[in-house]
Amino acid sequence: MARVKKKERQEMLLAQVREKPFLTDEELAKNLEVSVQTIRLDRLELGIPELRGRIRNMAEKAQNKVKSIQSGEVVGELIDLELGRSGISLLRITEDMVFAKTQIAKGHYMFSQADSLAIAIIDAPMAVTGVANVKYKVPVHVGEKLIAKAEVVKVRGNKFFVWVKTHNETQEVFRAKFIVVSWGDKLGGKTS
Amino acid sequence: MARVKKKERQEMLLAQVREKPFLTDEELAKNLEVSVQTIRLDRLELGIPELRGRIRNMAEKAQNKVKSIQSGEVVGELIDLELGRSGISLLRITEDMVFAKTQIAKGHYMFSQADSLAIAIIDAPMAVTGVANVKYKVPVHVGEKLIAKAEVVKVRGNKFFVWVKTHNETQEVFRAKFIVVSWGDKLGGKTS
């Protein structure tokens, strides 16, 4: 990419942060081919908080919306939520999450992140998992940041069909399809 | 059931303990329609350890056999293992495992128990989960003891098809089908 003017660069920065709010200053610098210092100055001028602040802001908004469970029960950090439609959570893989022999993350962590997110996006007072079909695509290791995106793809009465796709920094590592069953509202028990 | 003679009763006790080693003295007393005291005396005479001891004995033997992961990485307590074939684990549902609102056990605990057991029964130096299809049949609550039984039903090269069925004291609450992928031995990478 050729060196670009400041205005253009700042527009690209804004677009990148909007599209991928979890990029670090280092990653943004690499993408825009400028120094980390330049990214920091641009962020200051544009009023974009640093990564930690961006996540905190999003997380607070998202966590206040959860109805079906307590927001603290989401495994990982819930950072975006459109109730009844979609949600995003972030899980950092730490040393205690991997098998000692293989140093590969235990599959139940990716499952727990996806499962609890699938429940959290349901717009009902209570919900539990009914069915799950999951696929582990790539081994996950310590230090990876997993972004899980959940989406309600179909609703049949009180049954919600939720798809979750989980990426690390470079690729999809896991995907899952859930049927989540809700109750405690007017939809509950309407259909078989 | 009509009252039976001592010898007959003790034979029934032995049979029950062999078939269901996780029955408490109270449950055994109920099944045989005698007092708990009678069960204890019978156990002493027959040299059957109490429940805790029976589980400890089985667990030690089973845990020494695990190859694919560290035995402590099995979620719940591994209490029986026929390497390459089958295994049994026991998970007690405690307060920290249920959703606060519904008091229903979080689905990832049943998943974790089944998933780690499915891996533990594989007769290979290393193994990870590839695919999982799971079904939650009945909500699980605090205090329930979940017995998961895993069985290798098919092997294709380094892929192991493992079925897990999980019961509480009265019924099946969860079932799962896993494809576990192993490597690090002569089978590894032999087939697609």
pLDDT band at B185 (very low <50, low <70, confident <90, very high): low
pLDDT at A3: 62
Chain B interface, best mutation among A66, A89, A101, by max B CB count within 10 A: A101
pLDDT at B3: 62
Question: Are the beta carbons of A128 and B112 separated by less than 8 Å?
Answer: no
Rounded to whole angstroms, the Cα distance separating A68 from A89 reads: 16
Question: Are the beta carbons of B108 and A104 separated by less than 8 Å?
Answer: no
Kindly state whether A103 is in contact with chain B, defined as any CB-CB distance less than 8 angstroms: no
Mean pLDDT across B143-154: 96
Residue A87 CA from chain centroid, whole number: 7
Q: What is the ipTM of this complex?
A: 0.79
Decide if B102 contacts A99 (C-beta within 8 A): no
CATH class of the A67-183 domain in this structure? alpha beta
- At A59, list the tokens: 């997380």
Residues 6+ positions from B87 with CB-CB distance below 8 Å: B62, B78, B80, B81, B117, B120, B121, B149, B150
pLDDT at A2: 54
Kindly state whether A115 is in contact with chain B, defined as any CB-CB distance less than 8 angstroms: yes
Whether the per-residue pLDDT at B192 is higher than 70: the answer is no
Give domain limits for chain B.
Answer: 6-48, 59-183
Question: Are the beta carbons of B134 and A130 separated by less than 8 Å?
Answer: no
Question: Are the beta carbons of A130 and B125 separated by less than 8 Å?
Answer: no
Mean pLDDT across B173-189: 80
| Closest-approach residue (CA) in chain A for B173 | A130
- B152 against B57, higher pLDDT: B152
Find the distance separating the first CA and the last CA of chain B, reported in whole Å: 57
B-proximal residues of A, 125-184, CB under 8 Å? 125-126, 128-136, 139
Cα dihedral value A89, A91, A97, A99, nearest 10: 90
Task: Say which CATH topology domain B6-48 has.
Answer: Arc Repressor Mutant, subunit A (1.10.10)
- A50 against B21, higher pLDDT: A50
Instruction: Count Cα neighbours of A6 within 13 Å in the Cβ-side half-sphere.
Output: 6
Rounded to whole angstroms, the Cα distance separating B76 from B92 reads: 7
Mean pLDDT across B20-29: 89
How many other β-carbons are positioned within 10 Å of the β-carbon of residue B87?
28
Rounded to whole angstroms, the Cα distance separating B153 from B85 reads: 8
Q: Which residues of B55-78 are buried (b: 16+ CB within 10 A; e: fewer)?
A: beebbeebbebbbbbebebbbbbb
pLDDT at B191: 41
Mean pLDDT across B54-65: 88
Cα dihedral value A36, A38, A44, A47, nearest 10: -90
pLDDT at A9: 93
Closest CA of chain B from A71, distance in Å: 11
Going across the sheet that includes B86-92, the strands are A77-82, A86-92, A145-156, A159-167, A172-183, A126-136, B126-136, B172-183, B159-167, B145-156, B86-92, B77-82
Whether the per-residue pLDDT at B21 is higher than 90: the answer is no
pLDDT at A186: 47
Rounded to whole angstroms, the Cα distance separating B69 from A167 reads: 25
Residue A185's SS3 state is coil
B-proximal residues of A, 73-92, CB under 8 Å? 73, 75
Residue A137 identity: K
Question: Are the beta carbons of B136 and A116 separated by less than 8 Å?
Answer: no
Residues 6+ positions from A44 with CB-CB distance below 8 Å: none
Residue B109's SS3 state is helix
Mean pLDDT across B135-158: 96
Any idea which architecture B59-183 has in CATH? Roll (3.10)
pLDDT band at B18 (very low <50, low <70, confident <90, very high): confident
Quote the mean pLDDT of chain B. 91
Question: Are the beta carbons of B99 and A139 separated by less than 8 Å?
Answer: no
A-proximal residues of B, 16-35, CB under 8 Å? none
How many other β-carbons are positioned within 10 Å of the β-carbon of residue A179?
18
Q: Mind spelling out the 3-state secondary structure of A95-150?
A: HHHECCCCCCECHHHHHHHHHHHHHHCCCCCEEEEEEEEEEECCCCCCCCEEEEEE
Mean pLDDT across B26-52: 93
Measured between beta carbons, the chain B residues lying within 8 angstroms of A139 are 128
* Mean pLDDT lowest among A83-92, A148-157, B54-63, B152-161: B54-63
What is the dihedral sign for C-alpha A105, B150, B167, B30?
A: negative
Rounded to whole angstroms, the Cα distance separating A96 from A123 reads: 33
Helix axes B6-19, B36-46, angle to 10 degrees: 80
pLDDT at B190: 41
pLDDT at B187: 43
Residues 6+ positions from A100 with CB-CB distance below 8 Å: B69, B70, B73
Chain A interface, best mutation among B74, B101, B131, B160, by max A CB count within 10 A: B101
Rounded to whole angstroms, the Cα distance separating A97 from A106 reads: 6
Rg (CA), chain A: 19
pLDDT at B22: 81
The per-residue pLDDT string of chain A (192 residues; one tens digit each, 9 = 90 and over) reads 556 789 999 999 999 998 888 889 999 999 999 999 999 999 999 999 998 888 888 888 888 999 999 888 999 999 999 999 999 999 999 999 999 989 999 999 999 999 999 999 999 999 999 999 999 999 999 999 999 999 999 999 999 999 999 999 899 999 999 999 998 754 444 443
Kindly state whether B100 is in contact with chain A, defined as any CB-CB distance less than 8 angstroms: yes
Decide if B107 contacts B136 (C-beta within 8 A): yes
